[in-house]
């Protein structure tokens, strides 16, 4: 309500009551005004009522919600179901105009403001939590894999002759498919073992650059967040290599925004070498529904070019989710979650170490991996035996763990991957992974380790029984062979006696 409306309200209730209400409204409106003026993520999170207040105001600025609107076009923000309209706070026009995500829509001033504020808050958060030199970012209404494809397609404008993307192997389908979907040929760089951890082979990467020719390479696509025992790619060294040969460098930072370690390596890679863009998921890092990602970079013009590569209009749903969550958390709330994640990673590692010691297993040391933990499984198991352990956990409500046999083979887009899941052709151990990602709780760790231990006891018992049966079967087979040999010998003796 404006000042005139509040003055009129004094005719209905005592002026002192109206004054109290005006102060409460003023406090909420001051937050909104500050957000519009500074365009920064608030330090402290907002309450839901204030968030709803700004969303309702922004929605009222879109043409489909004008009380006098008369829409005669084919796309007028019409929504048949009231449930759908409420789900989207009546923001129906989406984003962008004529294929530029960041361009303002004449029919949707409110939606356009919301998008610009979301990008501004996201940029402020990224700078505050670790990558201070980030020049620009866009929240993209597509998941990480498709956004990586969009980044690679954007590079065609400046490198039309390039055919290849150098890719340090990471056994995750969407990352690999982002390269082939963009129409490039992936050059797979196998990882090398450093102790038990898998790391980037930078020397092999440079050999490929020299062999293929730098001008024929569209980009190097590296990874930060991944399943142990693979570690963060050697971003600083690769960044220097890209700067040396003038090759674009895109980083798949899928769930690395929550990790100060991943962010530090991105910052350093940019400072020492070259990083063109780094891409992260909204669902994994902001705890929102799947469907969005954030592309950020150190060259604002390149980030803007990525937005212009997007064809047509786009859904505002993932942006709305990010907007609400950023306001709810605030920078202090997000920083607190990052600290909790680091603490819980250490607790998860120690809990798994205790289980490992009980059952003759061990933790695989992957010191450069800040989120995922790997636990060895018994050698000599067949693939179906190992995957049975994963099934046992899933049936008991444990999601997110991965049992890696190191023996699987998978073909993706015509490329054969031996040892699929283990990020290399010949990892020496089968193992199980678990991740301590943002939003995880101590309760989750306790439940997981309790259920894992029960499953391990059952799994190891079944395996011992199976081994016992195999030993018995082998002994029985040997006995049968001995009996047969004895019978043959006797028969030959009898034949000799008859001949005499």
CA dihedral 229, 230, 235, 238 (to 10 degrees): 130
* 30 shares a domain with 122: no
Give the pLDDT confidence score for residue 6 in this predicted structure. Answer: 81
* 228 shares a domain with 185: yes
* 430 shares a domain with 296: no
Chain-centre distance for alpha carbon 312 = 25
Residue 84 lies inside a defined structural domain of this protein: no
Give the pLDDT confidence score for residue 483 in this predicted structure. Answer: 59
Residue 490 lies inside a defined structural domain of this protein: no
| Of 182, 193, 259, 262, residue with least CA distance to 222 | 262
- Structural domain tally of the chain? 3
CATH of residue 378: 3.90.1150.10
* 303 shares a domain with 421: no
* Burial (CB count <10 Å: 0-12, 13-18, 19+), residue 67: exposed
Structural contact between residues 54 and 110, judged by C-beta atoms closer than 8 angstroms: no
Whole-angstrom Cα distance, residue 380 to residue 34? 63
Structural contact between residues 337 and 439, judged by C-beta atoms closer than 8 angstroms: yes
Output phi, psi for 134, to 5 deg.
Answer: -60, 130
* 293 shares a domain with 188: yes
Q: Is the peptide bond before 229 cis (omega within 30 degrees of 0)?
A: yes
Residue 103 lies inside a defined structural domain of this protein: no
Range of the domain at 353: 335-460
Give the pLDDT confidence score for residue 301 in this predicted structure. Answer: 96
Whole-angstrom Cα distance, residue 282 to residue 258? 11
Give the pLDDT confidence score for residue 480 in this predicted structure. Answer: 63
Give the pLDDT confidence score for residue 473 in this predicted structure. Answer: 55
Question: Residue written as tokens 């009380």?
Answer: 67
* 282 shares a domain with 143: yes
pTM: 0.90
Whole-angstrom Cα distance, residue 372 to residue 408? 21
Residue 234 lies inside a defined structural domain of this protein: yes
- Name the stretches of the chain with pLDDT < 50: none
Both tokens assigned to 403: 């049992």
- H or E element: which one contains 251? strand 249-252
* 113 shares a domain with 200: yes
* 430 shares a domain with 298: no
* Burial (CB count <10 Å: 0-12, 13-18, 19+), residue 494: exposed
* pLDDT tens sequence across 215-231: 999 999 999 999 999 99
Residue 222 lies inside a defined structural domain of this protein: yes
Residue 293 lies inside a defined structural domain of this protein: yes
Give the pLDDT confidence score for residue 495 in this predicted structure. Answer: 63
Whole-angstrom Cα distance, residue 239 to residue 247? 9
Give the pLDDT confidence score for residue 327 in this predicted structure. Answer: 98
């Amino acid at each position: 309500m404006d000042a005139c409306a509040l003055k009129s309200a004094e005719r209905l209730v005592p002026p002192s009551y109206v004054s109290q209400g005006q102060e409460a409204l003023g406090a909420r409106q001051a937050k909104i005004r500050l957000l519009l003026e500074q365009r920064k993520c608030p330090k402290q999170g907002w309450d839901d009522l204030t968030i709803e207040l700004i969303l309702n105001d922004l929605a009222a600025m879109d043409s489909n919600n004008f009380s006098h609107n008369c829409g005669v076009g084919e796309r007028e923000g019409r929504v048949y179901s009231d449930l759908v309209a409420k789900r989207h706070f009546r923001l129906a026009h989406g984003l962008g105009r004529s294929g530029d995500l960041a361009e303002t829509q004449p029919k949707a001033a409110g939606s356009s403001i919301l998008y610009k504020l979301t990008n501004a808050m996201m940029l402020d958060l990224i700078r505050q939590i670790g990558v201070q030199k980030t020049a620009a970012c866009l929240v993209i209404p597509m998941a990480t894999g498709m956004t990586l494809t969009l980044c690679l397609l954007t590079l065609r404008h400046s490198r039309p002759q390039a055919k290849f993307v150098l890719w340090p192997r990471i056994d995750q389908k969407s990352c690999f498919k982002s390269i082939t979907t963009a129409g490039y040929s992936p050059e797979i760089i196998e990882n090398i073992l450093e102790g038990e951890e898998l790391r980037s082979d930078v020397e092999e990467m440079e050999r490929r650059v020299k062999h293929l020719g730098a001008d024929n390479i569209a980009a190097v696509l590296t990874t930060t967040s991944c399943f142990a025992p693979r570690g963060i790619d050697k971003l600083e060294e690769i960044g220097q290599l890209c700067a040396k040969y003038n090759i674009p460098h895109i980083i798949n930072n899928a769930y690395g925004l929550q990790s100060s370690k991943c962010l530090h390596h991105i910052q350093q890679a940019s400072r020492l070498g070259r990083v063109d863009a780094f891409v992260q998921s909204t669902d994994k890092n902001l705890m929102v529904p799947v469907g969005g990602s954030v592309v950020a970079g150190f060259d604002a013009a390149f980030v803007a070019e990525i937005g212009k590569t997007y064809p047509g209009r786009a859904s505002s749903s993932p942006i709305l989710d990010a907007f609400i969550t950023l306001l709810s958390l605030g920078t202090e709330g997000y920083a607190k979650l990052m600290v909790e994640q680091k603490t819980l990673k250490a607790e998860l590692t120690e809990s798994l170490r205790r289980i490992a010691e009980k059952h003759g297993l061990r933790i695989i040391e992957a010191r450069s991996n800040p989120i995922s933990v790997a636990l060895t499984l018994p050698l000599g198991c067949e693939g179906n035996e190992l995957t049975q352990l994963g099934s046992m956990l899933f049936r008991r409500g444990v999601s997110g763990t991965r049992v890696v046999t190191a023996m699987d083979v998978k073909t993706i887009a015509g490329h054969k991957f031996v040892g699929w899941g283990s990020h290399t052709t010949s990892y020496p151990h089968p193992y199980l992974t678990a991740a301590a990602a943002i939003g995880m709780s101590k309760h989750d760790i306790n439940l997981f380790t309790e259920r894992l231990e029960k499953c391990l006891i059952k799994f190891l018992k079944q395996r011992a029984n199976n081994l016992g049966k195999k030993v018995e079967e082998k002994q029985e087979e040997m006995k049968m062979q001995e009996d047969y040999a004895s019978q043959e010998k006797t028969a030959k003796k009898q034949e000799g006696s008859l001949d005499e």
